Structure 1
């Protein structure tokens, strides 16, 4: 059949391989319906061809870091495995077999899950645009792996780390002081601009996050979620650290608060390496820089700050996100909770027995004073 092109010339589309006209007719009808709805319903389109087109369409819709991750999964994982199959032939058993094979070979569950989730996203787009009648990757043939329970440093360990950094590398000490004191994500701290910091008002505004594309090109992108783009209050410690950092960042080439000795923004990978160097020097257990964000939340929980306030401070998208991440709480907070329950039950039982509740609440007599009497 002939179809129009952008140049105005007609171009011919030929598809063969059908046994007879009855078999070719449904494919022709499907192809014409697809053109009316705005998608290509080529009956011979392969999974590889579709994923390549989908990836190109996503390039300007996704954050650069997300697009890079999708590109890796599509080009290095999905196309080599499923690329030669016709799109309509891709079935759930193909995807399930791939998942089982990968897991049985010792591949990490997180890596396999992310590959499958990328495929599901691509096929979901095909369903929404009426290219496919259903998503063959749904339901996924494996559950989402649970994240490892994070065990952040204690307040004492955080103080030890910051003290060591001030002695060895004051510039990085200020960076980690800001992350621990506010719960910023690493990219948000590295992407912080001077004009977004108002020391006198004790507030800063999160407007960017610094990311490395392919671990090389540095780009400023939007924060992780809509609620991440918000204001963050500053304590005296954090305000002082930001003042020192801005005093050092004298380069006029950029407005980053945290800069390297060359005046350029700090590379996330370099910050990660330096963090672990300083951590090992201080003799502290392994944590990630992101765990410093969890440390900030844990310190607030131990100070009896409500979960709702912590959620606002960390700028989570929902309160349930905060509750799920920190459902384990800490030992001190959990013990305080069960002791409060115990005290309340004992008080009600005492009232039921007619015991003098006020007497129970009075402090016990000091034996030193009784002997003196």
Structure 2
């Protein structure tokens, strides 16, 4: 009764029957309706694998910052990855924020416990020579579906899930365009889902180069010949029964073929970074690169690829200096110019 009356007085009712474990599972049930399957799977893994074993036995109102700090210190001592620890504690903070917003907690004990977000490691990307070598090797040694898939990824900068979810109904060969309508998400239990891309910017038209057009025409011819009615339908890149290719299998094939050539080891998303790096190296304006990659803002592109713009920065300040030098020379050459006299007097 005292707890109820205190809750009425303060506007916050902390139910001492609720454990951290039961609260986190209730929170997950709500989030499942809001999140993409693969994002939810990541939250669920954090909760079941780490948060409940570490804090689940506490009553929700009894969880304190010292408990969280102690767990973080133990993880550091065990050499746990900084990114992993950051994600786990961030998940706990997000969940407890929901309890505070629902007036179930007076304060969030994880509010100030989340360690600084680790700096993202610079992703590996291939040079144009390495990318061309890889594509030629695929064409000469394999000439299969993945040969064309890798050509499309490197030739458009599309994300892994977008390529694997691409349907023929969204490919317009006559217009040399395709539309990104779906993305594929694979989660830990092996289930594969199609969903809309996360951002509005991702749902957009992509122009197709002659190389990418050739790859899509090859796939179209193969699938039309295999279809009883000679039609194109379903996924552009899929298994014989029409189901999507599994991302892990595609990654395994990429690494196998990369190893055959002795090229730097990269992941599927690094093909997108390679496409971006090549565009920037070819002096494509960063605004155009951002639009091609379908980033939500140009700031995202600069944050990801700003380190590749050093040469462009050199060109910019050199051009600026040249413009000032030309203007200065023109002024100095004019009859009766007082520029030199002015600076001499000031000196």
Shorter-chain-normalised TM-score: which range? 0.7 to 0.9
Residues 46, 91 of structure 2: 8 Å contact kept: yes
Distance in 1 (alpha carbons) for counterparts of 2:146 and 2:123: 23
TM-score (norm 2): 0.86
1:183 aligns with: 157
**Larger helix percent:** 2
**Whose radius of gyration is greater, 1 or 2?**
1
2:258 to 265, 274, 279: 279
For the residue of structure 2 that corresponds to 1:130, the secondary structure is coil
Highest RCO, 1 vs 2 (Cα 8 Å, sep ≥ 6): 2
**Counterpart of 1:370?**
none
**TM-score, with length taken from structure 1:** 0.80
Give me the CA root mean square deviation: 2.6
Asked if 1:310 corresponds to 2:295, the answer is no
* 1:295-340 deviation digits (Å, cap 9, x = unpaired): 11111112222222211211112221111001101xxx52353144
Distance (Å, rounded) in 2 between the aligned partners of 1:201 and 1:302: 28
What is residue 307 of structure 2 aligned with on the other side? 328
Give the unaligned 5+ runs of structure 1: 1-23, 358-373
- TM-superposed deviation, 1:117: 1.4
Uncovered stretches (5+) of structure 2, i.e. residues with no partner? 334-347
Matched, 1:42 2:15: yes
Question: Deviations 1:11-47 (Å, cap 9, x if unpaired)?
Answer: xxxxxxxxxxxxx41335538998xx9xx85222111
Task: Quote the offset at 1:151 in angstroms.
Answer: 3.2
Give the 5 Å matches for 1:77-96: 77-96=50-69
The partner residue of 2:321 within 334, 339, 345 is 345
Q: 1:86-113: CA deviations, max 9, x gaps?
A: 1111122222221121122110111111
Residue in structure 2 matched with residue 7 of structure 1 by the alignment: none
The answer as to 2:107 corresponding to 1:134 is yes
Residue 238 of structure 1 is aligned with which of 209, 212, 226? 212
Q: CA deviation at 1:164?
A: 0.4
State how far apart, in whole Å, the 2-side matches of 1:168 and 1:33 are.
Answer: 72
| Residues 142 and 254 (structure 1), Cα distance of their counterparts in 2 relative to 1, 3 Å cut | farther
CA contact (8 A) 1:47 1:85 kept: yes
Per the TM alignment, residue 135 of structure 1 is displaced from its structure 2 partner at its CA by 2.1
CA distance in 2, matches of 1:313, 1:86: 50
Q: Give distance in 1, aligned partners of 2:328 and 2:192.
A: 68
